[in-house]
Structure 1
């Protein structure tokens, strides 16, 4: 392997690596000695898992031993003894047939670095690097390193070779955010369901009013640092960034959202430098999950953190131009949970004078009426067809064509939300909550949104009900269909998956907290 070229490839994907990170990925010396030099102190070893296992075909081939030979499998956390900060997560495989008895005993029974065990027994060997790469943090590694799930981790694999045979094969992992020499901020946001707008009539002097649920998955994950000019990159290393969920047609639009929000925030602060963003994870735009608001507020929050300026989330949303109709996305970013907002004053002296979606409104985010924790044992199945919901000029036209909504529908919705949906939530009555969701689909502006969907969206909603969901709804303008369920979620996911070609179906839960922010 040409290590110089491989490092260059990784930097093309992720952004720059620090000198310390390059050293940790490519050193052919003792990793513990290298770490102690970098931190200026002593490291410790904590064994998280260790047992004798039989080599399967893959491990046997890698180690050059026979199938079912005994292997010492060891997982350790290497940490800074001064502050207990985790530095490296390492997995090693050592064939017992090739190790000396005393060496094996120390390896199996003591929290001692492998390099120091080898020094103790004066074992002459060399290290051969097999691979350097990157991966994402799963739940276990996010807890070990205190990073967000899906954050980028750097990874390498090497073998310790003695007399031409592999004595130990080792995988080492550490966060991309570790051993950095630049100040950065990373933000993880939720997504959200928008259940309905309540009042698009306005005769009582207020308009809008949103109801929504914050979702734990999918999530938007973005990393930012101060730069000469504002730009947006992803795992592809270019402005046309590559992300898992987003069709290529939306890439420029995502970048525009982030750049536009960033420029508004920088202009508000009177700052002339830029911000470089790296999108680490995202989800589609215009599918009813609120990605535009989340990425815009995240960009604004990143600017405020990078330049040390404190703003509330509502202030950031106002500056970047979000929350002009519904406040659900802003409140989801701020605190998560089940959300009911108060809408906007309406009329000649009101904040809003016309029926407009958030994307075309200059109003401030509305105040909250209530925010409740949503039961985390209730499951939410998301079906996300490969089409786009109404947005832009079409969305504006729909508001103009179908508003005002009949006052009777506004009153029915208000009664349904106040005296059925919210009590069901507080009493954790999933059947009653589901009934409220179902009735909302036939009432007010939500009835309009559902009626404008392609026929197969309505068929998808009916199928989800037939499969056992307590309540099924369309999020915002769609096309995402959601089902409220419990332990039936597996059957619903499989059934809906068959309708969607076994893709774009997510089982998630509510998220009762907002976005997470960390600097490093």
Structure 2
């Protein structure tokens, strides 16, 4: 049995829901991408009583207690959070923290690894299986939505994100994406998503995004992402002040980047983080050089990222026997 376990789980982009109509018996579904950063990093060891320290410690303490109870673990633990994905920024912070805690506990207590079960156990993935799928596999993942008897929405497709491509993230630290009760209320109050629009989104994923990834063609990939973001963004606009983006400053910056050669622009989940794609590190650095100063003057954070084509990293350390 390990003496300690460390887990590193990276952020993700939620590129859009597939079907919020539900007419075929499944609802939501989605497409998402794992990023190389930011990440949640934590370490778990045995202790006389539960103790949690570091960023998001209160949230993590509740997750640790839940995981212990649901997995039937009676021993107590010390949990050290070294780094945490920013909360309520559209980067999947809550799900990745929950899955990292449960994965660490399973490994430390010699229990089977099961992110799909843990998503349900930790009350994550009510509408999306992307968090669990990306935690386990990385890359670009498509989940099949929630059916009448679904526990965690299943992964139905996965593709590698081309190594040469880059993602520029644009975040407004003064804005917060919808979450919790406000998010629940927004979904309840939004108008129906018509079947024709759902059909267009699904076609874009199956016949444009996935083939473009397979053949490393950025232009059709980006065009499909932009179109999905337009369709989904228009649907969610009533809950976002009438805009496709939570932050008007992020929206304007994304538009400038798209006009200057980037592609596939949009907002991840409820934001406020926006994104665009480019075909190389050099292209990303050129755009950052041209637009970074203005973005920072407006109080925005802008950074360059890679896709991450692997799941969370889980490492165990064993005590040496004298």
Q: TM-score, normalised by structure 1?
A: 0.56
1:253-307 Cα offsets, whole Å, 9 max, x none, are x223322221122112333332211111222111111111111000001111121
Match of 1:377 among 164, 189, 197: 164
Match of 2:8 among 188, 194, 215: 188
1:424 and 2:212 matched: yes
Q: Distance in 1 between matches of 2:157 and 2:187?
A: 26
1:212 and 2:32 matched: yes
Q: How many corresponding residue pairs?
A: 306
Offset at 1:412?
Answer: 1.1
Structure 1 residues 475 and 444, CA, compared in 2 at 3 Å: closer, same or farther?
closer
Offset at 1:403?
Answer: 4.2
Contact 2:171 2:250 in 1 (8 A): no
Any residues of structure 2 matched to 1:12-27 within 5 Å, and which? none
Q: Distance in 2 between matches of 1:508 and 1:324?
A: 28
Contact 2:9 2:311 in 1 (8 A): yes
1:516 and 2:304 matched: no
1:478 and 2:271 matched: yes
For structure 2, list consecutive stretches of 5 or more residues without a partner in the other structure: 238-242, 318-322
Ranked by relative contact order (alpha carbons within 8 Å, sequence separation 6 or more), the top structure is: 2
Match of 1:442 among 227, 230, 233: 230
Q: Distance in 2 between matches of 1:445 and 1:384?
A: 17
Offset at 1:308?
Answer: 1.4
What's the secondary structure of 1:267's corresponding residue? helix
1:165-199 Cα offsets, whole Å, 9 max, x none, are xxxxxxxxxxxxxxxxx911111111110000111
Residue in 2 that maps onto 1:389: 177
Residue in 2 that maps onto 1:308: 110
Structure 1 residues 452 and 385, CA, compared in 2 at 3 Å: closer, same or farther?
closer
Any residues of structure 2 matched to 1:256-275 within 5 Å, and which? 256-275=58-77
Q: Distance in 2 between matches of 1:444 and 1:481?
A: 14
What's the secondary structure of 2:44's corresponding residue? strand
For structure 1, list consecutive stretches of 5 or more residues without a partner in the other structure: 1-181, 235-240, 242-253, 352-362
Offset at 1:418?
Answer: 1.3
Q: Distance in 2 between matches of 1:210 and 1:311?
A: 24
What's the secondary structure of 1:323's corresponding residue? coil
What's the secondary structure of 1:442's corresponding residue? helix
Offset at 1:452?
Answer: 5.5
1:365 and 2:167 matched: no
What's the secondary structure of 2:178's corresponding residue? coil
Structure 1 residues 230 and 339, CA, compared in 2 at 3 Å: closer, same or farther?
same
1:493 and 2:288 matched: yes
Contact 1:440 1:446 in 2 (8 A): no
Offset at 1:320?
Answer: 1.2
Match of 2:131 among 323, 329, 335: 329
Contact 1:195 1:212 in 2 (8 A): yes
